[in-house]
Amino acid sequence: MTLLALENCDVFYDKAQALHKVSLGVEANEVVSLIGRNGAGKSTILKTLIGLNRAASGRRLWKGDDVTALRADQLGRLGIAYVPEDRRIFPNLSVEENLRIATLMGRQGGWNLARVYDLFPVLRERSAQPGDTLSGGEQQRVALARALVSRPGVLLLDEPMSALDAKLKKSLQAELKKLHRELGTSFVLVTHDLEEAMMLADKICVMRAGRVVQTGTPTEIYYRPANMFVAGFIGETNFLSVDVGAGS
């Protein structure tokens, strides 16, 4: 079942077009990864999915219903959560206070603190520590936990590992995979890291200059790239010119 989708969306910043006829579907229990070079439009897709950007044309759908007109602050009750790249946890509040605010503001049927701590044991250990004294990985976990307390159907994550060192990245990637298995939440994950996309995603969406150039499973993208751009982006490549003639 398709939970969240964009259909033929054009998005502009002033007169500059950032997305061109972008379509994308997020199925239940699926991890979708958006990859592409700087400025390709990955964050703009997330912001359009959550309603922070308005599409000039095209539609946004939630379980098949047209929710194009709904604002970002109205999407929470549908079950869509978003962690922006800068994470935005309250620096002067403790881990527990940061989490408590999220549990109070969350949807009915969301998690209580005990459940959050069961999923993120490191946060239990740090519960009294102020946000700005946490490591990057711990802050990322607080941001993730805050987004997950209301048990969203879809969680949008903008480069969740970008500020982490290689070791921390690996452990958080493994944790994300485990969370996905346990919770069944669909993730849309923006990343520059191809290995991360290959490891976590069921579906990869390759972006170039505001357009989706290929969507497919990691295997499809890797073994059957749609064009030379995708082939070059995905792997070490040698391009050979050949003449194609009629077979004998």
Contacts to ligand ATP by CB under 6 A: 13, 16, 18, 36, 38-44
Least distance from ligand ATP to the Cβ atom of residue 18, Å = 4
Least distance from ligand ATP to the Cβ atom of residue 42, Å = 4
* Beta strands at 16-27 and 186-190: parallel, antiparallel or unpaired: unpaired
Least distance from ligand ATP to the Cβ atom of residue 240, Å = 30
**149 or 234: CB nearest ligand ATP:** 234
Question: 25 forms bridges with which residues in the sheet?
Answer: 5
**35 or 81: CB nearest ligand ATP:** 35
The sign of the torsion formed by the CA atoms of 139, 116, 44, 221 equals: positive
**38 or 248: CB nearest ligand ATP:** 38
The sign of the torsion formed by the CA atoms of 148, 150, 151, 153 equals: negative
Least distance from ligand ATP to the Cβ atom of residue 105, Å = 26
**43 or 98: CB nearest ligand ATP:** 43
Find the angle CA(32)-CA(143)-CA(105) to the nearest 5 degrees: 105
Least distance from ligand ATP to the Cβ atom of residue 1, Å = 27
- Rg of the chain in Å (alpha carbons): 19
CA-to-CA distance for 194 and 104, rounded, in angstroms?
Answer: 37
Least distance from ligand ATP to the Cβ atom of residue 211, Å = 11
Which residue from 11, 47, 5, 36 is spatially nearest to 213, judged by alpha carbons? 36
Instruction: Give the SS3 label for residue 187.
Output: strand
**101 or 198: CB nearest ligand ATP:** 198
Q: What is the DSSP letter of 61?
A: E
**90 or 229: CB nearest ligand ATP:** 229
Structure tokens at 151: 């048990």
